[in-house]
Amino acid sequence: MDRKGIIAVSLAIAVLIGWTIWNSQEMARVAAEQAKVKAVAAAEVAGQPKPADPATPASAPAEPAPAVPAVPAVANEPEKREEIATSSVKYTFTNLGGGIATAELQKHEAERGQRMTLNEFGSIPIGAVTDLAGVGATAPFAVTVESGSVTFDRTDARQLQLTKKFTPPTSTDLAHDYIVALEVTFTNHGTQPLALPGYFIHTGSTAPVHQHDQATYTGFMQAGGKFIDPTYFNAGWFQAERPVFTFTHEGIAWAGVANQYFTTLVTPSFPTPEAATPKARGHAVWARRLVIPDAAWQTSGRSIEGGSGPRYGVEGALGMPALTLEPGQSFTQSFRIFVGPREFDRLRLMPDAQEEIMDFGIFGLVSKTLLKSMNWLKSMLGSYALAIIVLTLIIKSLLWPMQNKSTQSMKRMQLLQPKMTELREKYKDDPTRMNTEVMKLYKDYGVNPLSGCLPMLVQIPIFFGFFTMLGKAVELRNSKFLWVHDLSLPDTIFRLPSVGWPVNILPLVMAGTMLWQMAISPKSGDPMQQRIMMFMPLIFIAFCYNYASALALYWTVQNLFSVAQLYATRNQAAPTLLKVAAPPKRK
């Protein structure tokens, strides 16, 4: 029994290590795609036709309507850029595609003191409108700038005029800052009715913030859907590589791309709540992966310290429903485009649950509670490090009664150790009888063998709530603590020269405090449980080593608090070991 348990735990750790190695190899496998992406990008710059999408979105029409000649491609159309800056964002608009080429966040730094820029590596502007997703997204528009807004205008061979007016925000309050108002107007200047099978409005692209960001931080999501990260497009054991992600459903409220800390969200808006029917909202979504070459990554001012390799971004689009325009008729659809930090308090003020883009997972309620509490404590203390420490102390204080009761139960199990040793020796050749007698011994003396694990089990949702929350809390960026320069990143002090492995101090301190706590804790009478607990420091290092150092700070503080608690209660009167009175027999 004991040997099987040790083997099971060892296999679990081996699987964890094996997955890490496999993930690194999988990322390296696609390095060859960089050359392909460079060739496609070069072809687009040269005005050559872009390769067709391998998959047509589900909402694409079965037949073209109406039958008119295609608009000829305009080769080498000069790009015209216009800038409008607010106190929070500098928006750069482009006439090629008629949208936001980049958005430079004035209050958020990237690496080396540069401003964080969104849609930096994408080829499709934010707010580009096309018949098919990803196709013809860089067509030229006439551009007009006036009164703090930018208007793009274009008429195609169908005599369909497309007018887009972007108006950046004038207010910097929590509910309006970072939100660009967009009006899209279709006008039929032809002599025949014009049936549009639908259109796509693009979210632009997202890219990792740092060189070694987890792949699952970057991706695409629509309202009520799952977060589609770059690994979705990988070939697997039972599937081929996916070139695009498509999904069709009536009533999609919003769609967007996001990385670890920033997001771009496109939301259709309506003059009244009654007008926001499912039929009027989005009907489809589309996303695809893009590869960011080393040259583009370095040109942006980002570091490739610790080794180069493929980096993935994701770009997407929201498909809107079909419409029919009579000659001379116009139709206008409004949108709200959020381009800014992934802040929960800001996103939850939006009307359609846009805070879902945080993707907190199954421990979402815990993560949201911890995030709100951490932000409130920071407003009181002025430091996120102090806020995490105080929040940890509050949680541990609330769990003190349970921890104290668990400690007393473990001490009682220590007193049972001689009797258990006798039983194991007596029935060493009969494991089934031995287990039966051991459980009977627990029952006779009213001892729960799992009581020592109960505080740990209670803290698991809290740990994973912190794990998810701290990995996505943009508020932690550039927050310092002692030698830690940024609580949102690992506290790497240097990398080993030959292999490039990071040396992170705080996770090692955390493991040391766990060993200290285990050394002074009363020993459980169950050897199997003791052996499992010995693996815990390794498991926690695996979780925390390359993660936000704020997580290791939290677990280190809670370990130190537990150590202090054990020292404070070690002088309590020793528990007595008495048999529990047997229940009266039924007559």
pLDDT at 113: 66
Q: Which amino acid is located at 130 in the chain? A: T
- Measured from the Cβ of residue 181, the count of other Cβ atoms closer than 10 Å reads 16
Asked whether 537 and 515 are in contact (CB, 8 A), the reply is: yes
- Cβ contacts of 237 within 8 Å, gap of 6 or more: none
Kindly state the tokens that stand for 106.
Answer: 């004035």
Asked whether 337 and 265 are in contact (CB, 8 A), the reply is: yes
Total residues belonging to the chain = 587
Per-10-residue mean pLDDT of the chain, 587 residues long, equals 50 52 45 41 41 37 37 63 94 96 90 82 94 92 93 95 95 91 96 94 93 86 93 82 93 95 95 91 95 83 66 94 95 96 92 90 88 92 92 86 70 70 75 78 68 68 86 85 85 76 86 85 61 74 82 89 80 58 53
Q: Which helix (H) or strand (E) holds 285?
A: strand 282-292
Q: Which amino acid is located at 111 in the chain? A: E
DSSP 68: -
Alpha-carbon distance 487 to 481, whole Å? 7
pLDDT at 397: 85
Alpha-carbon distance 370 to 343, whole Å? 14
Q: Where are the domains of the chain?
A: 31-55+71-359, 375-569
Q: What does the angle CA 261 – CA 132 – CA 203 come to, to the nearest 5 degrees?
A: 15
pLDDT at 525: 52
Alpha-carbon distance 337 to 349, whole Å? 14
pLDDT at 387: 93
pLDDT at 527: 61
Q: What order of strands is seen across the sheet that includes strand 160-167?
A: 142-146, 149-155, 160-167, 179-188, 330-341, 262-269, 255-258, 219-222
Of 562, 161, 262, 584, which is closest to residue 399 (Cα–Cα)? 562
- Residue 560: helix, strand or coil by DSSP? helix
Q: Which amino acid is located at 238 in the chain? A: F
Q: What does the angle CA 483 – CA 489 – CA 490 come to, to the nearest 5 degrees?
A: 65
Q: What is the 3-state secondary structure (H, E, C) of 212-253?
A: CCCHHHCEEEECCCCCECHHHHCCECCECCCCCEEEEEEEEC
CATH entry, 31-55+71-359, from 3.90.960.10, 3.40.1280.10, 2.70.98.90, 2.130.10.10: 2.70.98.90
User: For residue 40, how many C-alpha atoms fall within 13 Å in the half-sphere facing its CB?
Assistant: 15
Q: Which amino acid is located at 17 in the chain? A: I
- Tell me which long-range contacts 109-113 makes (C-beta under 8 A, separation of at least 24): 109/477, 109/478, 110/209, 110/300, 110/301, 110/302, 111/210, 111/301, 111/302, 111/303, 112/301, 112/303
Residue with tokens 């770059």: 230
pLDDT of 388-422, one tens digit each? Answer: 999 999 988 887 777 667 666 666 666 677 777 77
Furthest-apart CA atoms within the chain: distance in Å: 99
pLDDT at 484: 87
Q: Percent helix, strand and coil across the chain, each rounded to 5?
A: 35, 25, 40
Task: Decide the pairing of beta strands 149-155 and 160-167.
Answer: antiparallel
Kindly state the tokens that stand for 507.
Answer: 């996770």
User: Which residues on neighbouring strands pair with residue 184, listed in sequence order?
Assistant: 164, 333
Asked whether 217 and 260 are in contact (CB, 8 A), the reply is: yes
pLDDT at 583: 52
How many helices (H) does the chain have, and how many strands (E)?
A: 14, 21
pLDDT of 28-47, one tens digit each? Answer: 444 344 344 444 444 443 44
Q: What is the 3-state secondary structure (H, E, C) of 343-407?
A: CHHHHCCCCCCHHHHHCCHHHHHHHHHHHHHHHHHHHHHCCHHHHHHHHHHHHHHHCHHHHHHHH
Q: Return the beta strands (E) in 410-561 as ranges.
A: 492-495, 502-504
